[in-house]
Amino acid sequence: MSQKTLSWPLKLPVYVLALSLSAVLSLTSEDVKAGILPGQKAPAFTADIFNPESEKVENDVASDLYLGKQRVILFSYPKNCTYVCPTELIALKKVMPKLRQMGFQVLVISADEASEKEDAKHSHESWWKSSDDQKVNKEGPLGLGKPEYIMVSDPDKKILQQYGLLGDDGMALRGTVYIGENGVIRIIEINSNDIGRDVSTHILNNAAKVEQLDERGKADAEKVLPAGWKPGDPMMPMTDEGVREHMKDKS
């Protein structure tokens, strides 16, 4: 019997199956590129940083100095000496004492160079030193005025990609990753680059949630933070009765 070729109607399911498989493989690839998720361990990395304590650039600093040893906020932004970025980073500077009280180490990260030897105008070092006082700094980019947070340099953008904080345009996104003291990611939030983050309330509130979960003891192991939780509010038992009790004042 001679071999017959498949007619078009019979070929169609095979064609569709091939497209579907291609789409699944493509989706899997994109998922890998997307980075990490809450509940996962924060990926370790090594980077050059500008350290505000030593007021110097330090090379090849391992994130293990912080991750898994204390609470961490990884705060990404597109570029030094721009426009929305200084409004965020100066606001973040003002709440650093509160974040320190909550046990957080804050790492701000962009693809800019760390040292002014590499970039005299736009490096972390030069921007950190530049004044944020408008009466003093009257021309050009507004500076940061020596904030307390560590500035991480990622010119190769490997860390940003690893954390899913790299946009399609090759710029860092406005991402905020909140990491518990056990090194597990609790919250990830990403803004469009033309939207600045509300540091004074929203970020402090999220930090308080991470602090609360970290300090939850064995007695509170079966309690969670419901919608609308604020610092000082009780945690909610993971029961139907707990939900009803929480919702009494919400209806």
Residues annotated as catalytic (active site), given as ranges: 85
From residue 60, alpha-carbon distances to 9, 12, 48 in Å are 60, 55, 5
DSSP 219: G
d(CA 92, CA 69): 22
On whether the CB atoms of residues 88 and 172 are closer than 8 A, the answer is no
Helices 204-214, 84-101: inter-axial angle, 10-degree rounding: 30
Our CA angle for 65, 70, 76, nearest 5°, is 75
On whether the CB atoms of residues 232 and 212 are closer than 8 A, the answer is no
What is the phi-psi region of residue 146: left when phi exceeds 0, alpha when psi lies from -120 to 50, beta otherwise?
left
Kindly compute the dihedral angle of the four CA atoms of residues 222, 228, 234, 237, in this order, to the nearest 10 degrees. Answer: -30
CA atoms within 13 A on the CB side of 72: 25
d(CA 31, CA 64): 26
